[in-house]
């Protein structure tokens, strides 16, 4: 829902066209300002970097997307423009997988919703680069924190952090298969995390550079809280809104890469013809189409998915686009789609219950990262292939879709491959 223009302005936004920075990662790495945000999609040329919080938005609960959208648009429209050329201010940040804040201390700076209007933003779009500064703020954070101190919720103790052990994996999959066989569950996505050795982890900036350069077809992101940093590279666009145009990608079904070129090609060919993976993928496509049909006058969706190649895996992908029948913001569309069965399951309530029962506390893993303008245009991607850095320690996450034909050991190997892709970037060689 777009709110009406607010008459009261408490800040001024100055936008100027600038020479393109040699490296958007360096804009964040060269500053100690917190919070900070970096996002880049090399294939499309889109990049955003933001420093400092003129205003910060945090909320939680079942209506968090609607509340976050309303607050974001309202706060962005309170920022007066010092000129008319170029883009206005952006709101940057992300959403956790769950509607509620995580209890573990490791997620202390990444609550269910954390968005901010940066004091300084750089954006590259349409072959041009702009610098946007917001100054003269009077309100600060909407939760009274300004993003630099203790989050406005009680932190759990160190013992509140939970890591699902590998030894528990098969029993979790077997429980899911029992529910799948009796028909009460159609699919569930189970995930695991792995702690990397303290002291053997590279800095977030180095990780972001490697991910961006090695995965140009993905959205590379880096969100710096205070003491902790969330970094990753995801192939999955959840919602892009540009006027009335909306885009998303259904991504589900995977096969491992192989260093042998012949076997690698065979893996890709088998994925395209695999009944189990195609069934898993079609579930996601139909779910996404069903949700978008309610708000779109028409949809464009290919009948056959593409096989997309990424360094650690092949994935089945179906791009879906349409025209919104009524104006919705990127945050609202993202909230309509999240969580898809690609990260949760069907039915989502039972899948989410099974995920929680297994001890998973995902935080921002399989949540969303992205940005939005005052008019509601923006992009949000699913936070996959992600790691959380806390000083010299780091944790990585990965998940696998479980359907009736799943094999526990094969799914465990898939997760290890996905976690290994990020761990190999984060660990010092």
d(CA 194, CA 417): 12
Element (H, E) at 169: helix 169-181
- Altogether, the residues listed in the chain come to a count of 429
- Cβ neighbours of 138 (radius 10 Å): 11
Q: Is the separation of the CB atoms in 215 and 198 below 8 Å?
A: no
d(CA 405, CA 230): 34
Q: Is the separation of the CB atoms in 225 and 250 below 8 Å?
A: no
Q: Is the peptide bond before 35 cis (omega within 30 degrees of 0)?
A: yes
Active site residues: 187, 236
Helix and strand numbers (H, E) in the chain are 9, 22
Q: Is the separation of the CB atoms in 92 and 378 below 8 Å?
A: no
Q: Is the separation of the CB atoms in 5 and 77 below 8 Å?
A: yes
SS3 286: helix
């Amino acid at each position: 829902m777009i709110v009406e223009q607010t008459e009261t302005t408490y800040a001024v936004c100055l936008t100027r066209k600038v020479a393109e920075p040699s490296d958007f990662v360096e804009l964040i790495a060269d500053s100690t300002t917190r919070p900070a945000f970096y996002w880049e999609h090399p294939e499309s040329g889109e990049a955003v970097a933001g420093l400092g919080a003129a205003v910060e938005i945090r909320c939680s609960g079942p209506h968090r997307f609607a509340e976050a959208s309303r607050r974001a648009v309202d706060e962005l429209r309170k920022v007066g423009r010092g000129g008319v050329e170029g883009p206005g201010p952006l709101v940057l940040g992300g959403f956790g997988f769950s509607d509620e804040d995580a209890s573990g201390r490791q997620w202390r700076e990444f609550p269910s919703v954390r968005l901010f209007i940066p004091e300084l933003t750089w954006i590259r779009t349409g072959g041009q680069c702009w610098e946007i500064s917001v100054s003269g703020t009077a309100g600060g954070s909407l939760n009274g924190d300004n993003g630099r101190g203790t989050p406005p919720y009680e932190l759990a103790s160190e013992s509140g952090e939970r890591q699902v052990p590998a030894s528990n994996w098969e029993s979790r999959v077997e429980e899911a298969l029992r529910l799948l066989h009796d028909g009460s569950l159609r699919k569930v996505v189970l995930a695991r995390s792995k702690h990397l050795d303290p002291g053997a982890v590279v800095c977030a900036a180095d990780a972001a550079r490697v991910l961006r350069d090695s995965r140009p077809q993905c959205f590379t992101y880096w969100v710096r809280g205070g003491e902790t940093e969330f970094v990753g590279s995801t192939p999955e666009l959840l919602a892009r809104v540009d006027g009335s145009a909306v885009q998303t990608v259904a991504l589900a079904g995977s096969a491992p890469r192989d260093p042998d070129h012949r076997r690698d090609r065979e893996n890709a060919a088998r994925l395209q013809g695999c009944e189990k993976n195609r069934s898993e993928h079609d579930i996601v496509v139909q779910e996404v189409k069903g949700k978008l049909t309610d708000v779109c006058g028409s949809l464009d969706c290919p009948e056959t998915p593409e096989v997309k190649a990424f360094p650690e895996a092949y994935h089945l992908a179906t791009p879906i686009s349409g025209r919104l029948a009524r104006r919705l913001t990127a945050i609202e569309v993202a909230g309509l789609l999240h969580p898809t069965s690609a990260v949760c399951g069907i039915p989502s309530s039972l899948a989410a219950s099974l995920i929680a029962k297994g001890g998973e506390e995902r935080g921002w893993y399989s949540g969303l990262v992205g940005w939005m303008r005052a008019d509601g245009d923006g992009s949000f991607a699913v936070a996959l292939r992600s790691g959380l850095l806390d000083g010299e320690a780091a944790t990585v996450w990965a998940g696998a879709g479980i359907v009736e034909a799943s094999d526990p050991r094969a799914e465990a190997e898939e997760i290890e491959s996905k976690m290994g892709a990020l761990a190999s970037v984060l660990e010092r060689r």
